[in-house]
Amino acid sequence: MSAACLACDDHDLDAGGLLVIDLAAIEANYRHLVGLAAPAHVAGVVKADAYGLGAVAVTERLVAAGCRHFFVAELSEALELRPLLPEGAVIAVLNGLAPGANAAAADAGIVPVANSLTQLRAWAALAAERCTRLSTILQVDSGMSRLGLSPAEVDELAASPELLRSLDLLFIMSHLACADEPLHPANRAQLAAFIAAKAKLGIERASFANSAGIFLGKDYHFDLCRPGASVYGLGVGPAAYGIRPVVRLEARISQLRTIPPSASVGYGYTFTADREMRLATLSIGYADGWPRALGQIGAAWVDGVRLPFTGRISMDSCTIDVGALPHGRLRPGSLVELLGPHQSADDIARLTGTIGYEILTRLGRRYCRRYVG
Ligand SMILES: *Cc1c(COP(=O)(O)O)cnc(C)c1O
């Protein structure tokens, strides 16, 4: 655990907020997914700093839980995490490698996802130059039109199989676009396209399902599943079950004040008191990833009591109406719940027209982070 975490406790908090990340819940979620996916293996997707929760701490915990496959988006993320992994573990770069990054990746033992024939040829050329068999994962586009070989490229590759034979091909993979809608026809269509590409290329081992894909059932599991969101406690559609919440976010009160009737609050004076009101100012704002759109519609929670935001969320602060609490319950330095038992990242996402993934990945870097469990 880092010194920054040891230095912070509830009574002596100089950050604007406390972000508590429950590693035991992360491990429990991972093990639940392992149980659902067996006999397929389950990777940990730890891109974007493990969805904002801290890739180092999360990766160490998943390694301890037996995870041996990791996915990140970029080479820099893989380079940071590679030293934490045991011998034989795989860390793969989903976005593939930029031209010129191949040598550095190979030196560090990092596995690129080849998303085009150009990337695959460049990796094979490096392997030939070094007289070694380099590992790769080949991505095919099964319908999402984002990353991976097009059907035409799959045909081209099928016609020149020596390219594949020169590499250690760990998996063929593809990615689902609509798995959080279990009845969406794209799921079956993508599955059929993936199976067809796999057969055409004669590749045995395959990886297809993200979190929501795991809940679609066995047909989608193949040899390696790639969940991120479910490991971090997010909801991924109506079929998901058995996932525990992982994060708690508490904001610190910097000031309390009583305002008279007709006083206004915050930028734009969008809120005006219709009575005497007791307000608390919180030391977090949209620069901490707390959505500005929650001004007027969102709330914080204390003792199970809802405390609505008054006026706009500022960059580094915001105000709540604490009139529903007894006098003296809150003081400067008290903490209020922003994410926790009374509202999840998914709840905040629904209120602000986005997804829980975006709420988590935008959580700011100024919070005091504490890992528990
Ligand atoms: C991000 C990502 C995942 C993980 O998706 P979740 O919905 O978070 O489980 C899996 N595969 C690919 C290719 C991804 O980009």
Q: pLDDT (tens digit, 9 = 90+) per residue, 168-181?
A: 999 999 999 999 99
Alpha helices in 108-230 (DSSP H): 117-130, 151-158, 162-165, 185-201, 211-214
> What does the pLDDT average to over 214-219?
98
Give nearest CA residue, ligand 1 atom 13. 175
The pLDDT score that the predictor gives to residue 4 is 41
pLDDT in tens, 8-64: 555 446 789 999 999 999 999 999 999 999 999 999 999 999 999 999 999 999 999
Give nearest CA residue, ligand 1 atom 3. 210
Residues in a beta bridge with 259:
277
The pLDDT score that the predictor gives to residue 358 is 98
The Å distance, Cα 227 to ligand 1 centre, comes to 6
Task: Provide the 10 A C-beta neighbour count for residue 42.
Answer: 27
The Å distance, Cα 194 to ligand 1 centre, comes to 16
Ligand 1 atom nearest residue 227's Cα: 9
**Which residues form ligand 1's pocket by a CB distance below 6 Å?**
45, 47, 94, 175, 210-212, 226-230, 236
Ligand 1 pocket test target in 42, 45, 187 with most atoms within 8 Å of CB: 45
> Residues with catalytic annotation?
47, 267
Mean pLDDT of the chain: 95
Query: In the chain, where are the structural domains located?
Result: 39-232, 247-372
pTM of the model: 0.95
The pLDDT score that the predictor gives to residue 7 is 42
Burial of 305 (0-12, 13-18, 19+ CB in 10 A): middle
Give nearest CA residue, ligand 1 atom 15. 94
The pLDDT score that the predictor gives to residue 3 is 35
Strand bridging mode 44-45 / 135-139: unpaired
Ligand 1 pocket test target in 30, 141, 208, 210 with most atoms within 8 Å of CB: 210
Ligand 1 atom nearest residue 234's Cα: 8
Ligand 1 pocket test target in 71, 140, 147 with most atoms within 8 Å of CB: 71
Query: What's the rounded Cα separation, in Å, for the pair 177 and 84?
Result: 31
Residue 105 contacts residue 78 (beta carbons within 8 Å): yes
Angle at 56 between CA 337 and CA 25, to 5 degrees: 45
Query: What's the rounded Cα separation, in Å, for the pair 78 and 358?
Result: 21
End-to-end CA distance of the chain: give it in Å, rounded.
12
The Å distance, Cα 367 to ligand 1 centre, comes to 26
Residue 283 contacts residue 16 (beta carbons within 8 Å): yes
What fold is seen in the domain 39-232?
Answer: TIM Barrel (3.20.20)
Query: What's the rounded Cα separation, in Å, for the pair 309 and 320?
Result: 4
The pLDDT score that the predictor gives to residue 8 is 53
Query: What's the rounded Cα separation, in Å, for the pair 226 and 339?
Result: 26
> What does the pLDDT average to over 89-110?
97
- What token pair was written down for 257? 């004040």
The pLDDT score that the predictor gives to residue 99 is 87
Give residue 262's identity as a one-letter amino acid code: S
Residue 25 contacts residue 219 (beta carbons within 8 Å): no
Provide Rg for the chain, Cα atoms: 24
pLDDT band at 160 (very low <50, low <70, confident <90, very high): very high
The Å distance, Cα 104 to ligand 1 centre, comes to 24
The Å distance, Cα 226 to ligand 1 centre, comes to 6
Predicted confidence (pLDDT) at residue 2 exceeds the cutoff of 80? no
The Å distance, Cα 141 to ligand 1 centre, comes to 14
What fold is seen in the domain 247-372?
Answer: Lyase, Ornithine Decarboxylase; Chain A, domain 1 (2.40.37)
336: phi then psi, degrees, rounded to nearest 5: -120, 150
The pLDDT score that the predictor gives to residue 183 is 97
The pLDDT score that the predictor gives to residue 87 is 95
Burial of 161 (0-12, 13-18, 19+ CB in 10 A): exposed
DSSP assignment, residue 246?
-
Query: Which residue matches tokens 């919440």?
Result: 245
- What token pair was written down for 254? 């910097």
